[in-house]
A and B are shown apart, each in its own frame.
Chain A
Amino acid sequence: MNELPALTLLDLILPRVVGLQALRRIRADERTSRLAVIILTTPGEEQDIAQSYDLGTNCYIRKPVGFKQFAEAIQRLGLYWLVMNEPARPKRGDVDIPLAALIVEDSENDTQLIVHLLKKAGYGLVYERVETTEQMCAALEKRAWDIVISDYSLPQFDGRAALELLKEKHLDIPFIVVSGMIGEERAVAMMKAGVHDYLMKGNLARLAPAVARELSQAEVRREQKQMEAQLRQLSRAVEHNPASIVITDINGSIEYVNPKFTAVTGYTFDEVRGKTPPYVFGSEMQPEIHTEHSQTILSGKEWRGEMLYRKKSGASHWEAVSISPITNSKGVITHFVAVSEDITRP
């Protein structure tokens, strides 16, 4: 049975009924008009934000939705009680936010102070103390660490070298230096080398907040990397697709063709770039089909059908084609993508 949600998170760009339209209808119906709705936007949708407030959204969050933005939105809306009613909130002494900290430190006492402060701040702490390059290497091999907290100078090791070690291993782990007086110049040099924060041993009140901030920033970096990786995967999927893929701008000028298209039609990308599909590789569609096809895709829907493709050699064959519009963040059609497969029986 469907349960009325306490909170709805609504993306603006959606297939079929788009976000703003859905919001309008949620607000128009008295049964749903008072639901808490948070709009999710992508940067560059300022106009939509204004419009979504007009339509009665409670709040908006920019994507990607991170922990911080979400927590802020919840706070702003006073929704704590709404969504935290199955509390996972930490109790004193309970294992809370898990944190694996690698502590580069020769003093056991200083280590215990750091451990104490982090535990008091509510971290479920796993830590290891290392004081040489070898130990640090071994620790890095052993497990993934959320943060490195390093002294500036140790008898056999130092913060600089520890940071270099992370870079060598291509590990993007927040690195905080906790040290005695090292002077402004050295502190600046450390920051330039990539240290995320610098704290003095005499004043560690900032330690827990600094750790929290670095963790959330590291998460943002991770999310970004993930998205880039996804983008790379997608572009590979297009490049290596067994179907022909053609991307045109709104006027039908070709902006991209994948290698399969080149292989099938015999046209190179340079030969078709900027040209319009029907005139280049020649679809011979009935005029009425052409009209129906244009109307469908311009209205934002996908069109499926068969087209006669003419190759560069003059030979022709039938392809099953699906053409769908690509919209920008404002929902305006900017490009079309045509995916097609040869359906001529050999």
Chain B
Amino acid sequence: MRPKTILLVEDNPSDVGLTRRALERSHIANHMIVVKDGQEALDYLFAATRSQVRK
């Protein structure tokens, strides 16, 4: 089974770094996708729901 994805919506690069490290230290090896704003996040999520329906 493929590891599940984590979506991080964060525009501050240093917070992205800290979050990534917190995840690593929690032994979480999931794929993390970073988007920089709410619109990008919504675009990503709704595109994902569409591609799921097609499967």
Contacts and interface: CB of A to CB of B under 8 A. Distances in A.
Interface of A: 1-11, 13-19, 21-22, 25-26, 29, 31-32, 35, 40, 63-67, 69-71, 74, 82-89, 223, 226-227, 230
B27 to A, nearest CB: 4
Nearest to B44: A2
Contacts of A3: 2, 4-5, 48, 51
A86 B23 CA distance: 13
Contact of B42 (A22, A63, A82, A89): A22
Contacts of A18: 38
A293 to B, nearest CB: 23
A69 B2 CA distance: 26
20 contacts: A2-B47, A7-B7, A9-B9, A11-B10, A11-B15, A15-B36, A22-B39, A25-B42, A29-B46, A29-B49, A31-B46, A32-B49, A64-B18, A66-B18, A70-B22, A83-B4, A83-B28, A83-B30, A85-B3, A89-B27
Contacts of A64: 15, 18
Contacts of A70: 19, 22-23, 26
Contacts, number: 136
Given A2-B44, A83-B4, A15 B10 contact: no
Contacts of B39: 16-17, 22
Given A11-B15, A15-B11, A74-B26, A85 B4 contact: yes
A88 B45 contact: no
A67 to B, nearest CB: 4
A70 B26 CA distance: 8
A65 B45 contact: no
A88 B30 CA distance: 10
A326 B46 CA distance: 30
Contact of A66 (B10, B11, B22, B52): B22
Contacts of B30: 6, 83, 85-86
A298 B48 CA distance: 34
Which among A18, A83, A87 has the highest number of chain B CB atoms within 10 Å?
A83
A66 B17 CA distance: 11
A293 B15 CA distance: 32
B37 A15 contact: yes
Given A6-B4, A9-B10, 13 more contacts: A2-B48, A8-B8, A8-B9, A9-B7, A19-B38, A22-B39, A29-B49, A32-B49, A65-B19, A70-B26, A85-B1, A85-B30, A87-B27
A65 B18 contact: yes
B9 A14 contact: yes
Nearest to B43: A2
A23 to B, nearest CB: 9
B22 A65 contact: yes
A19 B52 contact: no
Contacts of A22: 9, 38-39, 41-42
A26 to B, nearest CB: 6
Contacts of B3: 85-86
A88 B7 CA distance: 20
B5 A4 contact: yes
B40 to A, nearest CB: 8
